[in-house]
Amino acid sequence: MIESAVAWANAVLPAQAAWAAVLLRRTLEYLMGPVRDFGGRFHWLALVAALILAGWVFAFRAAPSAIPLGDAPPARGLRGFLRYCFPRRIWLNRSTWVDLQVGFVNHVYAYAAANLFWRLSGAVVAAWITTWLTATFGPSPIGAEWGLGALLAFTVLMSMAADFGYFLFHWASHRIGPLWEIHKLHHSAEVLSPLTAARVHPFERLAMGPIQAVITGLILAPALYLYAGEVTVLTILGLNAMAVLFNMLGHVLHHSHVWVYYGPLVGRIIVSPAQHQIHHSALPQHLDRNFAEHWAFWDWIFGTLYLPKQRETLTFGLAGVATQPHGNVAAAYLRPVLGAARSAFALAWRLAARAVPRRQPGAVQAPVPEPPRR
Sign for the pseudo-dihedral over CA of 248, 64, 190, 261: negative
Q: Which residues make beta-bridge pairs with 144? A: 227
List b or e across 11-23, with b for residues whose CB sees 16 or more CB atoms inside 10 angstroms. Answer: eeeeeeeeeebee
Quick one: pLDDT at residue 230?
Answer: 73
Helix axes 18-31, 2-12, angle to 10 degrees: 160
Where in the chain are the domains? 18-90
Quick one: pLDDT at residue 110?
Answer: 65
According to DSSP, the β-strands at 239-240 and 235-236 are antiparallel
pLDDT in tens, 247-301: 899 999 999 999 999 999 999 999 999 999 999 999 999 999 999 999 999 999 9
Q: CB burial class (10 A; 0-12, 13-18, 19+) of residue 88?
A: exposed
* CA–CA dist 161, 74 (Å, integer): 41
Interval 79-85 mean pLDDT: 89
Quick one: pLDDT at residue 160?
Answer: 95
Interval 178-201 mean pLDDT: 95
pLDDT in tens, 347-374: 888 888 887 766 656 555 555 555 444 4
Quick one: pLDDT at residue 136?
Answer: 87
pLDDT in tens, 112-147: 666 666 666 677 788 888 888 888 888 877 667 778
pLDDT in tens, 313-336: 899 999 988 889 999 999 999 999
Quick one: pLDDT at residue 373?
Answer: 43
Percent of the chain with pLDDT over 90: 45
Quick one: pLDDT at residue 65?
Answer: 47
Residues 6+ apart with CB under 8 A from 10: 18, 21
Higher pLDDT, 362 or 215: 215
* CA–CA dist 113, 17 (Å, integer): 31
pLDDT in tens, 144-189: 777 888 889 999 999 999 999 999 999 999 999 999 999 999 999 9
Quick one: pLDDT at residue 11?
Answer: 56
Interval 25-50 mean pLDDT: 65
Is 12's pLDDT higher than 90? no
Residue 86 DSSP one-character state = S
pLDDT in tens, 234-248: 877 677 889 889 989
Higher pLDDT, 230 or 99: 99
Listed residue (114, 107, 270, 259) closest to 197, CA to CA? 107
Interval 31-40 mean pLDDT: 56
* CA–CA dist 5, 8 (Å, integer): 5
List b or e across 336-362, with b for residues whose CB sees 16 or more CB atoms inside 10 angstroms. Answer: beebbeebeeeeeeeeeeeeeeeeeee
Full-model pTM: 0.82
Quick one: pLDDT at residue 32?
Answer: 55
Least confident stretch, 212-226, 279-293, 303-317:
212-226
First to last CA, the chain: 90
